[in-house]
Structure 1
Amino acid sequence: MVRDRPMAAFALVGAVLTTALTVPAPTPARAAPAICQNPSDPGEVNTETPWHQRWLAPQRVWPFSTGARVRVAVIDSGTDSSHPQMAGRVTTGFDALRGAPGGDVDCVSHGTAVASIIAAGRQEGVGFYGLAPDATIVPIRVSERNANEGADAGGDTVTGAVFARAIRQAVDDGADVINMSVTLYYPDPDVEQAVRYAVEQDVVLVAAAGNQHQDGARPDPVPYPAAFDGVIGVGAIDQNGARIRQSQIGPYVDIVAPGGAVVAATRLVGHSVWDGTSFATPMVSATAALIRSAEPNLSAKEVTSRLLATADPARGDASRGYGSGVVNPYRAVTERLTTGAPVAQPPLPDVPYDAAAAARAERWAVFGRLALWIGLALATLAVVVAALAVLLPRGRRTRWRPTRPAAPPAAGPEIDEPEEHFFRVPSSMPRG
């Protein structure tokens, strides 16, 4: 979750949700770099296919585009290039905190998780992988603190000047897409100028819409850079398609993507389950990379239009924090725009609530349970009656005394009986 910072301070969006994953990490964790004050532990390997991959089905789009030749800058806590699924996909990058190369170090796993959603490669026995596996990650390190840690947790975090420097560095390093899963709740002028510089250089900018939804108590704070012109603001949904509770609502939400309980990589090895708009944002960035790889001649503005025009209908409209709908990588790559302006699909209709029908359904459910128990009772009674019908007559015949079976006759030796011979005296024979 995002924590409020002073006017020009940022916080990483999203909090780690610990879960029990079954398969242990295959290799021992190496020591954290010296620059890490409070390094997070590596996760455990996830062997099942996460729900967000089943939802977006990236395999459908890979015959058309895998993100090859596209550079995606991830402005975050760094990206661990030693993770087995990220090896060979991450450049050295830039450490904006220290003004030197070295963005491929991550102390808290947040940036590694974001980058892995974009470009993690497939690995035997692992269910998780990225949406654009052939894209190149350019890590720009601006923080070494998780959003769910307090200000006294130690480690440097981003300021307006550092973040502006990171955006410019990403552009100068040749980024085609910039992913910003970081949020500022104040329109810093340095950051605004850096965003304008990136827009002028035809870079697609994607930013988290923030995790500070107020549940109607007061208006949500305006997140930057998502609210700047030329930036795609991303909200988060869960596996039921509903906006997650903390995902903010406002005109800065242009599109939504899976961001509730999604699986992503941790530093070193393994995976964890993550929540927040931080992790919905790279799904849109990955889709932008797929488009730019398939059609490199499209401008950043055209890529943005394609993303919004091909979004699937959501459970609500922009006024409820869903923007134009749910990102669809397959449609975004395979469908072509007409000359007309993009039109958002209407939201999915709400199922009307009928109190009388609900009451009838409840009564039928009660009757069904009652009928089941009565049926079981009658079946039991029938078995008892059948057993008694067999046993009672026999009991009367034996006068309820136990009976033993009769012994078979003893077998003895066979005795040959003498044969009797008879003959008749003929009548003509003289008698004597």
Structure 2
Amino acid sequence: MRLTRTLRAVSGGVVAGALLFGTAPIASADEIRDRQWPLSANSFDAKQVWKESTGKGVTVAVIDDGVDGSHPDLSGSVLAGKDVVKGGPANQEKQVDHGTAMASLIAGHGHGPGRSDGVMGLAPGAKILPVKISMSEHGALGNSEGFESAVRYAVDHGATVVNVSINIPVLMDTEKEAIAYAVAHDVLVVAGTGNDGSSDLMSDLAKSPGVVAVGAVDKAGKIWDKSNYGPRVMLSAPGVHITSAGATEPYRQASGTSDSTAYVSATAALLRSKFPKLTAGQIANRLVKTAGLPADKQGAKLPDQHYGYGFIRPLRALTENIPAGSKNGPLKSPETQPSPGAGSGGATAPGAPAKGDEQATEKSDSGLGTGAIVGIAAGVLVVVAVIVILVVRQKKNGRNGPPPGGPGGYGGPGGPGFMPQQPGPYQQPGPYQQQPGAPAYPPAPPTQPPGQ
């Protein structure tokens, strides 16, 4: 049942993202750049963005149907990757367009004189790690185990941003563990909300704690009417009439949250390149704190169920003076704990014991037999009995004064004791509010030379 639902929903999500408005005929490559309206939009201003960062040094995993790494706008920017279901590389896709399109929006570099032709991604200096999952001929997810393996492969092979422009309506426990594994390794996972215009059909993947859920907006910054919505939407980005590269044809035009997801992943790559010491949550924090809203939404309670905290503004995210904030930022911690050993390829989560330490711990734990456990339990009972007798005697003798160490007992004034209890795990603050009228900060000096 689960696999059937997955097949239908993912087919709808992927195909809608690719073909909802059909494939627009495009006469020549030199017209492509003009059709990439997000790059010249006020909220993007790509030319200024690239003076701050191009995403160099960052690897973005694209979990999809594979990528055509030989496309002239992607050549040299796509790693071999892996088909996690059938084996082999994932950079030789020729049958399906979707993964190539997402890769081009993230790290396309154009071609021709001065790279003025073809598709330009928002993070042209980034590298794409394609991770191919099993897709049917209709673009649907064909193997329920593929996603888990894909996420773990991406994490273990150096991706710090994972783009998931597919729809998985129901996550199995192992897949939830894979997301938790990515979060534990400080990897930012970005997923689309889906293309049904519904609050009921937003997938488990997009709603998962630790995942940045992305809706789609048009040129005017208005939410696309087919963008799924709900309380877990975090951000929105351009996703209407988006021009991108293809595998079966050179270029295509489409609408969907797939495209908006790719633009958020690209912006995350820009930020991870410029601010390498920030955590994934702190990167999300910069995206949230600098997001914008259309005029009729100013002052709205955030996060909005359609826009989240607003549409991304990459230049502001790169240049505004935003305090780093807490490690998790606006991301909630996954409820499921990661399982480091399952398909992890040997990587270890930060702060987790190395494999040798785990083995040593297992051996130590297995050394206690049943008799030893019974003996320890008996000893504990004897100690408890002694304490009860002493307390009873103390009450009979009327000795009910202050305990040792002065008032408050151990830890009270002047006495030794335990440190005061520390606050528990980071709690999410209230919604990040927009700051209309906040002072504009001067752009930070670029960390990389222009054109890098």
Bin of the TM-score, shorter chain as denominator length: 0.5 to 0.7
**Which segment drifts farther, 308-317 or 68-77?**
308-317
Do residues 343 (structure 1) and 432 (structure 2) align?
yes
1:175 maps to which residue?
A: 159
| Residue number in structure 2 paired with 1:270 | 250
Q: Tell me, yes or no, if the aligned pair for 1:91 and 1:139 is still in contact at 8 Å.
A: yes
Given that 1:177 and 1:205 are in contact with CA atoms closer than 8 Å, whether structure 2 keeps it comes out as yes
| Separation in structure 2 between the aligned mates of residue 232 and residue 107 of structure 1, nearest angstrom | 29
- Aligned AA (1:141): K
| Residue 223 of structure 1: aligned partner | 203
Change (3 A) 1:272 1:66: same
Aligned to 1:375: none
Paired residues of 1:46 and 1:270 also in contact (CA < 8 A)? no
> How far off its partner does 1:15 sit?
3.0
Q: Deviation digits for residues 12-46 of structure 1, max 9, x if unmatched? A: 43132335444257xxxxxxxxxxxxxxxxxx972
SS of the aligned residue for 2:233 comes to coil
Counterpart-to-counterpart distance in 2, 1:196 and 1:166: 13
Give me the whole-angstrom Cα distance separating, in 2, the residues matched to 1:113 and 1:344.
Answer: 33
The answer (yes or no) to whether the contact 2:78–2:128 under 8 Å persists in 1 is yes
Q: Percent identity?
A: 37
Contact map agreement 2:96 2:248 (CA 8 A) in 1: no
**Aligned with 1:92 (options 48, 64, 80):** 80
* 1:331 maps to 2:342: no
Note the residue ranges of structure 1 that are not aligned, 5 or more in a row.
Answer: 26-43, 146-152, 349-432
In structure 2, give the amino acid aligned to 1:126: D
Amino acid in structure 2 at the alignment position of 1:273: Q
| 1:308 equivalent in structure 2 | 288
Q: Distance in 1 between matches of 2:435 and 2:306?
A: 14
Q: Which has the larger radius of gyration?
A: 1
Report the AA paired with residue 253 of structure 2. Answer: V
When structure 1 is superposed on structure 2, of 190-199 and 115-124 the one drifting more is 115-124
Q: Return the match for 2:32 from 39, 46, 56.
A: 46
Of 123-132 and 171-180, deviating more is 123-132
2:68–2:92 Cα contact (<8 Å) kept = yes
* Alpha carbons of structure 1 residues 22 and 271: separation in structure 2 relative to 1, 3 Å: closer
Partner in structure 1 of residue 90 of structure 2: 102
Amino acid paired to 2:18: A
Does residue 1:204 correspond to 2:188, yes or no? yes
Deviation digits for residues 277-335 of structure 1, max 9, x if unmatched?
00100100000000000011111111111111111124545444100001011111112
CA distance in 2 between counterparts of 1:246 and 1:155 reads: 19
Shift in alpha-carbon separation, 1:228–1:19, aligned structure 2, 3 A: closer
**1:137 maps to which residue?**
128
Task: Say if 1:237 and 1:258, in contact at 8 Å, map to a contact too.
Answer: yes
Change (3 A) 1:339 1:287: closer
Counterpart-to-counterpart distance in 1, 2:305 and 2:435: 13
Q: Secondary structure at the match of 1:233?
A: strand
SS at the partner of 2:151?
helix
Distance 1:173 1:7, change over 3 A: same
Distance 2:214 2:24 in 1: 28
Q: Deviations over 1:326-351 (max 9, x none)?
A: 10111111123237667232799xxx
Asked whether the equivalents of residues 83 and 268 of structure 1 are also in contact (C-alpha less than 8 Å), the reply is no
Counterpart residue identity of residue 157, structure 1: L
Alignment map for 1:3-152 (pairs within 5 Å): 6-9=4-7, 10-11=10-11, 12-13=13-14, 14-16=17-19, 17-24=21-28, 46=32, 48-55=34-41, 56-124=44-112, 125-126=116-117, 128-145=119-136
Instruction: Measure how far apart 1:141 and its partner are.
Output: 0.8
Q: Distance in 2 between matches of 1:221 and 1:154?
A: 20
Secondary structure, in 3 states, of the residue corresponding to 2:253? strand
- Kept in 2, the 8 Å contact 1:73–1:177? The answer is yes
Equivalences, count: 316
The separation in 1 between residues aligned to 2:254 and 2:138, in whole angstroms, is 22
Structure 2: segments with no counterpart, 5+ residues: 326-428, 438-452
Give the TM-score, by structure 2 length.
0.65
Give the C-alpha shift of residue 127 in structure 1: 5.6
User: Are residues 8 and 135 of structure 1, via their aligned partners in 2, closer, same or farther at CA, if it must alter by over 3 Å?
Assistant: same
**Alpha-carbon offset, residue 166 of structure 1:** 0.5
Amino acid at match of 1:83: H
Contact (CA 8 Å) 1:187, 1:224: kept in 2 or not?
A: yes
Aligned residues of 1:211 and 1:246 also touching (Cα < 8 A)? yes
SS in 2 for 1:105: coil
1:118-146 deviation per Cα after TM superposition (whole angstroms, max 9, x unaligned): 0000334526310000100000111444x
RMSD, aligned CA:
2.5
Q: Structure 2 residue aligned with 1:295, among 262, 275, 285? A: 275
Match of 1:190 in 2: 174
CA distance in 2, matches of 1:154, 1:286: 27
2:240 matched residue in structure 1:
260
In the alignment, is the contact (CA less than 8 A) between 1:93 and 1:104 conserved in 2?
no
Which residue identity lines up with residue 54 of structure 1 in the other structure?
A: S
Contact 1:97 1:158 survives alignment (8 Å): no
Q: Shift of residue 198 of structure 1?
A: 0.3
> Residues 238 and 260 of structure 2 are in contact (CA less than 8 Å); yes or no, is this contact kept in structure 1?
yes
Say if 1:346 and 1:220 are closer, same or farther in 2 by CA, change over 3 A: farther
SS at match of 1:290: helix
Q: Is the Cα contact below 8 Å between 1:69 and 1:293 reproduced in 2?
A: yes
